[in-house]
Chain A
Amino acid sequence: MSALSFELKRRTEQRLDLSSLVPSRLDGLNRKQIESLSIATTRQALTVGDAFKVKGKDVEQLHFVGTDDRCDKIGAKLSGGEIVIDGDAGLLLGAQMKSGKISVDGSAGVSVGASMSGGGISVRRDVGDQAGGVAFGETFGMKGGFISIGGDAGALVGERLRRGLIVVGGKAGDYAGGRMVAGTILLRGGAGRHAGYGNRRGSLIFGDKPRHLMPTYVDSGVMEFDYLRLLETWLREQGMRIRLGGRARRLMGDMAVLGKGEMLILE
């Protein structure tokens, strides 16, 4: 059975709420019913059929084509299946998802994977602020799963992160890992100012020594970490060849809050 695909006809004047286009909500609907689902975010009516050419059948395999930064909430609350996006995504991509896989060929907006609890999101290019951050009504950010960002991330990546792993291939903005509670963020291209601000028990791993270090992180020397080797192996299993080695300089912090978090700067 071929993937159910949604090809954007043209850029819309209003933002689109695509949270209804997930396998659990599409299951059992025929083409006509799918095309009549509302995706409007203004009082001007707009349905799936107005904005997208719909093809294919398999609701477990969704394919978005030619989408742009106004296509919001793709894969929000996803609980299984796979979504491939051949284009960009708007805000709240994969927010509060529980399981399944989302991959984006372009960039994504703010709050990617906000308060997600499982599954994986991969964005080939850049993402907006607060990736892995807090969805409205939640008290924690990402609570499990994996986010991989090929390009740059905006400010506050991993805000209130509770569990799970975020990998940023490019540069992260200010306050990377700000207010994080636990979990891991791997920053391969460095970060802006005040990384790890308000971090309680989380781990920030830097490929290179960051330009700005918070004075409330305390140097604990260079150590061997089996954990880094395990992480390198796990990433390889996900198809990401990232050399971490086993040695890193460890800084403990943020002493301003609890001080049980760490920055590992790879040797």
Chain B
Amino acid sequence: MDSALQRAADLLAQARLPVFGGLFTDVNGATAALALAQKLGGVIDHAASDGTCRAARVMRETGSTPASFGEVRNRADTVVLIGDHPRERDAELLQKLFPGETLPRPGDNKRELIVVGAKKGKVPTGVRTTEIGGKNTLPEVVALLAAATREMPFETRDAALGKKVLSAGKRLRESAFAVFVYDPAELEEPVLHTVLETVRHLVKTTRAATLSLSAPGNGEGVNLCSIWTCGLPVRTSFAGDVPENNMWAFEAERLLKSGEADALVWIDALDGAEAPPPTRAFRGIPSVVLSSKPVKAGRDDVVIEVGAAVADHDAEVYLPPISGIGAVKATSADSNKPTVADVLGKIGTLIDEKGAA
């Protein structure tokens, strides 16, 4: 273990631009990764940051109106489910959003579900459901629903689709609290923007909000941790005098493919989730891998086995049901394995000692 830590410290101390990727870890692990990245002038990115970055960008530029999961489950009378991702990510999502019994809701409407631009899938029983799709692409159907909600004209040859869209638009205007549920990783910026614009239009006369699915692998927790640490979301570089964020330039995969990054710290240590490794990871780029799972790594790479957050040690992670960060007790408490924060902290100390010597 000690020799692995020393090799990791040696590898990172001589790197020009190390990138901290994966980041499937708890808040303590993310804090330690950010501290080490700051020390080394590195870049941080999360393996599921596509959606987080898009959502952050659109929110930064135009604002958003989020609702918490409990609020949607208990109070929304119309739920608009957009795309396939939400049900792929959680097959029971709709059952959770439409429980048998709910708290008193605003308005007199019966609860209703509108599914937009998704393949046929499971819907809750006893809930009136409208499915809008047809041959149109997801962005087109979202745009049609947005136009119908505003009572603006649109052109489609599919009369049945047109009728459904008009009826859904009317329902949204008449809803006491309509909520749009989506995964930002599935919606490109203009589509996301249009959903938010529709909410902004609806809130002039009624209540409406969004429920944006959080990124897997504690993506939201890591992103929040980055924001409260340096003021910027993930895909941030600490190489300059001040941290710099750029969605394109500081994406881990691009940095590795282009050869601009010359070392990788890969962190995959969260119970129940596996970070999809970048295609170039562990192949040619000197890597330090902190993983709670078996890893195929190159001969010169440093692999350090760590505990899985939530399984092997208590952890603070983003919890979608409360839309916030909460503490979770370990399920198996294997205290023999070190945490990501322990390992990164020790590597940082060794680098400091090396610098002092």
Contact = CB atoms under 8 A, between A and B. Distances in A.
Interface of A: 13-15, 17, 40-44, 70, 72, 91, 110-111, 128-129, 134, 136, 138-140, 156, 159-160, 174-175, 178-179, 193-194, 197-198, 214-219, 254-257, 259
A110 B249 CA distance: 9
Given A41-B239, A43-B40, A215-B136, A255 B147 contact: yes
B204 to A, nearest CB: 13
Nearest to B144: A215
B326 interface: no
Interface residues of B, number: 42
B133 to A, nearest CB: 13
B240 interface: yes
Contact of B139 (A15, A160, A194): A194
A255 B154 contact: yes
Given A215-B154, A218-B155, A175 B190 contact: yes
A206 to B, nearest CB: 17
- Between B57, B143, B245, the greatest number of chain A beta carbons within 10 A of the residue's beta carbon is seen for B143
Contacts of A197: 139, 143, 190-191, 194
A186 to B, nearest CB: 20
A160 B61 contact: yes
Contacts, number: 125
Nearest to A259: B152
A42 B16 contact: yes
B17 interface: yes
A interface majority secondary structure: loop
In order of increasing CB-CB distance, the 8 nearest A-B pairs are A43-B41, A178-B190, A256-B146, A255-B152, A255-B147, A256-B143, A197-B190, A42-B17
28 contacts: A13-B260, A14-B16, A14-B17, A14-B260, A41-B17, A41-B240, A43-B16, A43-B17, A43-B41, A70-B260, A91-B249, A111-B248, A134-B57, A136-B244, A136-B245, A136-B246, A156-B189, A174-B188, A193-B137, A194-B140, A197-B143, A198-B197, A215-B143, A215-B154, A255-B152, A255-B153, A256-B144, A257-B193
A177 to B, nearest CB: 9
A216 B239 contact: no
Nearest to B62: A139
A194 B62 CA distance: 20
Contacts of A255: 143, 146-147, 150, 152-154
